[in-house]
Every structure is written in C-alpha cells, then in structure tokens.
Amino acid sequence: AIRVVRACRDLGIESVAVYSDADVHGLHVALADRAERIGAAPPAESYLSVESILDAAARSGAEAIHPGYGFLSENAAFAAAVEAAGLVFVGPPAATLAGLGDKLAARRTAAAAGVPIVPGLSVALQADGTLPTADELARVGFPALLKAAAGGGGRGMRQVERVEEIGPALALARHEASAAFGDGTIYLERLIAPARHIEVQLLGDRFGNLAVLGERECSVQRRHQKLVEETPSAAVTPAIRQALFDS
C-alpha cells in the first residue's frame, strides 16, 4: 500500500487509503492523501467486504481501485463489482482473474493449453470431508499439499504424508482459507521436494500487448511464504530461461 501511495504521488494522483480498526495507525493511512475506514478488525468485516470498499470509493470520489495483494486481490467477483461501479480496477480484468485467480481454474486452463502441471486433482475436495478415491490419490502421490483454490501466500496450505492425515489437515486448511480469502475451497496437489520455486512475470495491457519481464527466484521460503525474491535466478541457465519464456 505504501508503494502504491508513493507511485501515485510521483504521478500527481491523489491516493486514498482504506483501513480496518486494526490498522487505524498504519503507515499507509498516514502517508495517503486521504483515508477511509471500511470496518472492524476481522477481515470479513473490512478487507473482504466488497460493499465496504466500494462505499469508501464512492465517499472519496475515487476513480480507480488498486487491490493490493491477498484478500480480494485475485477475486474475480470483486474485479467485476469494481468495473460495474464504473471504476477502474488496477489489475487483470474479471474474466482473466476468473480463469487464473482460482487455482483450480488455472490448473484446468494450463492443462488445456498444453502447459505441464504438477500432478494433482483439478476438482475441489468435498466440503463434507469425503476423501478422494484410492485411484485419485495414487495419481497424485505422496507427499502432497492441501492448497487453497482462492489464494496464496502460504495460507490454507497443509502438507500431508499419507492418506490418514488428509481429514484433520483439510479441516485446518479450510478454516484458514475461509478466514484469509473468504473461500474455503481446497484441492490436493503433489509436493515436489526438493525443488526451486521460479516464477515468470508477464505484463499485458487491454490492447493485446504482452511482455515477459523475466524470472524471479522465490525458493527462500518459510511456511510456504516467500521471504526473498531475486532476479535473475542464479540457477536458471539461458536455455531453461528461454524455455520458460516460450511456454
């Protein structure tokens, strides 16, 4: 949020910070040109409340909303609501988020495009705790990860070493994902270890232009949360880099 405020200031654009009761003294609140309260401390009553955020935009006369990261930043319904309110959503359009912001939809999109994906299930685990079939689990393999379909940042993730661990871990993962993203949808994916976490950054605009900005080395992590990101990666050779960019 602070980087967004600084970028707006450099461009001569007025910035409006939003905050919950937990962040009333936050630095981003002090640095922005204006600040709007959007609710109580629990995220469900503030940062996950589409209505509260849009109300704050209306009160302040904002013309655009930057979603930041986490919470609603990859929520297609939020992007659509922003667009429907006549505001600019600073990020991918709702249709793109619907296809990629949901990790399950992203898996299906990647598979349909011929991009290699990690072995796993492309459907959500059932809310009643019913486990996948033996054949499905065999295709996934162990160790495996329970992952939140609606978010990232290590939230809603649990490592499981055998089938007996899935039930208890699923309840914990679902609860954490619901609290962090407002969506408790969980799926199962093979854990690749040891491995390097390499990301390729893409930047596109509404005119159909697409640029590859290079790769990031994100392997230094704690609890599946990236701590250090480095570019370019010292482990990626020119041949691997080109293959990543081409795919």
pLDDT at res. 3: 96
pLDDT in tens, 86-106: 999 999 889 888 888 788 888
pLDDT at res. 130: 82
Half-sphere exposure of 90 (CA within 13 A, CB side): 12
Average pLDDT over residues 176-199: 91
Q: Residue 244 corresponds to which tokens in the numbers above? A: 């990543």
Alpha-carbon distance of 125 to 170, in angstroms, equals 9
String of DSSP letters for 156-221: T-EEESSGGGHHHHHHHHHHHHHHHHS---EEEEE---S---EEEEEEE-TTS-EEEEEEEEEEEE
pLDDT at res. 152: 74
Helices (H), ranges, 61-131: 76-84, 94-100, 103-112
Instruction: Tell me which residue of 3, 73, 12 sits closest to 31, measured CA to CA.
Output: 3
pLDDT at res. 102: 84
pLDDT in tens, 6-58: 999 999 999 999 999 999 999 999 999 999 999 999 999 999 999 999 999 99
Is residue 126 scored above 90 in pLDDT? no
Asked whether the CA dihedral 92, 94, 100, 102 is positive or negative, the reply is positive
pLDDT in tens, 129-154: 788 888 899 989 999 999 999 877 78
pLDDT at res. 6: 97
pTM of the model: 0.68
Is residue 195 scored above 80 in pLDDT? yes
DSSP-derived 3-state class of residue 82: helix
